[in-house]
């Protein structure tokens, strides 16, 4: 239980990291006098760190084995993540911020891969265990915007990362900008990010058993279709309240998707490949969470932030197609 609690805390920190970016994004743009395209580089550098950690995780597992890597990677990952936050806290040049995001991504990646591998290798591992682990991410991402939104209008906005450093010591991204620019939400729009991640956390706790009853493979299709419908309402309904509610429900339905995917992986992949593969899956996922927001930034520079909802609709539609290609075969030991 203590080991599992430590894994949950590392996921809480990952959620905190991701939930902090959205509310601070408009302030970062103003502070450095940059546009959507340039500020999106932060997502790319974070992705570079995450992918580097995923590759290193595979090598470490081959050399040392899961047990030793689990202990060393969690400690090393936390320290590297801490270094990244220390670099962010002074609010130095934008180039330094980009490098700091590499450190944060690298540290998070090591912890993410090992936590998923650890839980996936447990004999008693199941929907509930993965749900609680990934709900910890949602909890961190829920709390972070509540704090980051306060700092977004403060003089020393970057001091938010002092809190992040203190925690390390022991997508939901562009929606804030959309609400501010298209719905007149003001600085308080950062709280809508908490609504999304709050829904994400609740979904990973409350909907896991329902997801199991509906069927692991089909439930992702069901949820994705509803998410697409809700994104269309955000796209066409010019209401701040409706958009905020829809964003929260989108988070609720997206919550179980990643844990379900991870649970499916434990039934398909052989144990000797499991931890490394989960690291790569997490790395590719993080690459998507960096590359796709970067593309969003480029599209927003050209067509405005209103291009966000149709882009999300296209991403969710693509995910349904890709999910249909996932094999049904059971794991070969």
Render pLDDT for 319-331 as a digit per residue (tens, 0 to 9). Answer: 889 888 887 766 5
Q: Tell me the average pLDDT across 123-151.
A: 77
- CA gap 291, 147 in Å, rounded: 26
Residue 285 corresponds to which tokens in the numbers above? 């996922």
Render pLDDT for 173-215 as a digit per residue (tens, 0 to 9). Answer: 556 566 666 666 565 565 677 777 778 888 888 887 787 788 8
Domains in the chain: boundaries? 2-323
* Half-sphere exposure of residue 196: CA atoms within 13 angstroms, side-chain side: 29
> What pLDDT is stored for residue 207 in this prediction?
83
> What pLDDT is stored for residue 213 in this prediction?
81
Multiple choice CATH, 2-323, 1.10.3720.10, 1.10.1060.10, 1.20.1250.20, 1.10.3210.10:
1.20.1250.20
Most confident of 29-38, 63-72, 116-125, 166-175: 29-38
Q: Chain-wide mean pLDDT for the chain?
A: 78
Quick one: which of 197, 219, 201, 223 has its CA closest to 131?
A: 201
Nearest-10 crossing angle of helices 127-152, 190-206 = 170
Quick one: which of 214, 301, 207 has its CA closest to 258?
A: 207
Render pLDDT for 56-93 as a digit per residue (tens, 0 to 9). Answer: 777 776 666 555 555 555 667 778 888 988 999 898 99
Q: Is the separation of the CB atoms in 121 and 287 below 8 Å? A: no
Q: Is the separation of the CB atoms in 39 and 27 below 8 Å? A: no
Residue 100: pLDDT above 90?
yes
- CA gap 218, 36 in Å, rounded: 36
Residue 317: pLDDT above 80?
yes
Return the exposure string of 228-258: e unless at least 16 CB atoms fall within 10 Å of the residue's CB, then b. Answer: bebbebbbeeeebeebbbbbbbbbbbbbbbb
Render pLDDT for 261-298 as a digit per residue (tens, 0 to 9). Answer: 877 887 788 777 776 777 677 667 766 766 777 777 77
């Amino acid at each position: 239980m203590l080991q599992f609690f430590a894994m949950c805390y590392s996921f809480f920190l990952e959620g905190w990291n991701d939930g902090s970016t959205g509310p601070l994004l408009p302030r970062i743009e103003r502070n450095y006098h940059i546009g959507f395209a340039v500020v999106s580089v932060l997502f790319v550098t974070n992705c570079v760190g995450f992918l580097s950690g995923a590759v290193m995780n595979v090598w470490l597992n081959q050399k040392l084995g899961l047990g030793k890597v689990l202990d060393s990677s969690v400690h090393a990952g936390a320290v590297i993540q801490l270094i990244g936050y220390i670099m962010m806290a002074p609010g130095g040049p934008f180039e330094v911020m980009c490098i700091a995001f590499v450190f944060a991504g690298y540290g998070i990646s090591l912890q993410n891969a090992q936590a998923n591998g650890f839980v996936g290798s447990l004999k008693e591992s199941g929907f509930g265990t993965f749900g609680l682990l990934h709900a910890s991410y949602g909890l961190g991402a829920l709390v972070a915007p509540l704090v980051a939104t306060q700092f977004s209008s403060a003089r020393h906005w970057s001091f938010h990362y002092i809190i992040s450093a203190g925690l390390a010591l022991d997508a939901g991204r562009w929606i804030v900008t959309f609400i501010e620019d298209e719905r007149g939400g003001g600085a308080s729009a950062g709280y809508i990010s908490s609504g999304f991640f709050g829904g994400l956390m609740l979904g990973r706790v409350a909907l896991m058993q329902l997801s199991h009853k509906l069927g692991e493979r089909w439930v992702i299709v069901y949820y994705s279709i509803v998410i697409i419908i809700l994104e269309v309402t955000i796209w066409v309904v010019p209401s701040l309240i409706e958009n905020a509610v829809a964003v929260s429900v989108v988070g609720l339905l997206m919550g179980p998707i990643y844990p379900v995917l991870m649970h499916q992986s434990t039934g398909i992949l052989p144990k000797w490949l499991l931890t490394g593969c989960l690291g790569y899956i997490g790395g590719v996922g993080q690459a998507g969470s960096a590359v796709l927001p970067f593309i969003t930034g480029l599209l927003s520079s050209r067509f405005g932030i209103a291009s966000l909802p149709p882009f999300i609709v296209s991403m969710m539609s693509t995910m349904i197609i890709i999910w249909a290609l996932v094999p049904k075969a059971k794991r070969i030991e």
